[in-house]
Structure 1
Amino acid sequence: MTADHTATTPQKIALVTGGSRGLGRNTVLSLAERGVASILTYRSNRAEADKVVAEAEKVGAKVIALQLDTGNVATFDAFVQSVSGALEQLGSERFDYLVNNAGTSHHNAFETTTEEELDGLYNVHFKGVFFLTQKLLALINDGGRIVMISSGLTRLSFPGSASYASMKGAIEVLTRYLAKELGPRRIAVNTVAPGAIATDFSGGMVRDNAQVNKNIADVTALGRAGVPDDIGPMIASLLSGDNRWVNAQRIEVSGGMMI
């Protein structure tokens, strides 16, 4: 008699940078609700990262938190080794989804932005994303997916955002090139560009300033500012097999801001 071996689908694993707060946190928890395990990174606040781990465990998902400064390329080789160790804990050698979410805000007029400010943005928002993705490629499964986080500010122009938006514009170009170059491995690469979201980003400007929140609501077709729950589930959906044929796209998630 032949044994009946029931086929099982391997657990999907995501790596989400900046996963201890804001949109990254919401993405990790949205994936957890779909049964996806995650490795999240945090820069300095281990306590917040541990809260995400605990919350994911409540829905039965395994999450591992690793420290990473995404603007410090010199630490990436050691980080990749840490990822390999985390994957071993999750019972795998590779992961499926990379979400390049970690970022810093910046508001300054073009004429007064300093070289130090621009270098800081470049290191985190472009150079760091470029080389971290490059170094993680060997650990991403063929047929996997990469999501870059951009901003509605690449379509809209707000004074004081030239430096930040320019880095995000570079990420959108990189997305298309990666989609082409990684195509032979069947790795799809897309950009998600959130509109104004009520988080602690930019000092909680959209979340905590009632006038800013109202101003955004007034220029948004759906009549309100965004919240993290508008973004995390969308990213989780984009990573799923339901969207397997979406590739090399910039998808704005802004509720119809300034259309």
Structure 2
Amino acid sequence: HVGWHNAAGAPKLRGTPASLALLAMPRACVLVAAALGLAAARADAFGGASCPAGVSSCGLAQDTLLLQTRSERSVVQHAALERTPAPLRSSDKVFLKVPSTGKRLTIEPNGHVHTWWDHTGRWQKLTLERAAGDGEVRSGDEVYLMGWTDKRITVQGQRVHARWNHKGAWQRFVIELPGGGDGPIMPGGTVFFKAHTGKRIDAADPKAPGTVRARFTHKGSWQKFVVELAEEGSR
């Protein structure tokens, strides 16, 4: 029921049910109230949050903030995936760096192999070939190392050279992670190369700087190489 009138003559409501109060409100106010209620409901559904007392429009702001947060999270996740390096694959071009000296395995035109220089040029670039064919290179795989001369690194006794293009036992190495197992070989990872003799390539003897040989079965600092991705092969 209508209680009393104000000075302007407009009825003021007192004790009126909510449905009658809505009928008494101007149409524009009803539409605004409905829109704000819908926005708040959507915010509650997604974020589980309610507006503070006396604030009727925070639902819309919460909805916008939720969409922005989801978008930013998606961008961060995508960037993280792009930064994550993929395992090395057969035909990738790599450098082999001796971690204790910073020098890289080098093949000269005459097939001489050494680690005198820290260059990342043509003479240092090797093609990593998986003996079993295309695919991801993993610890325990047999691989070949082909130089820019199209000759492959060869172990002949204790000597290491790159004078032949053969793909035989003398050119075949088992690539190994320090911890063993069969995990993927990642760019920047440390590896060993075990020859057909059971000996591993070493290139960090301080008494013979730059000399590359295959003398010992050890998996020590002299035998370590960091495999660096120079360029991707055919993937």
Question: What is the TM-score of this pair, normalised by structure 1?
Answer: 0.22
Structure with the greater alpha carbon radius of gyration: 2
More helix by share: 1
Is the strand fraction higher in 1 or 2? 2
Structure having greater relative contact order (Cα 8 Å, sep ≥ 6): 1
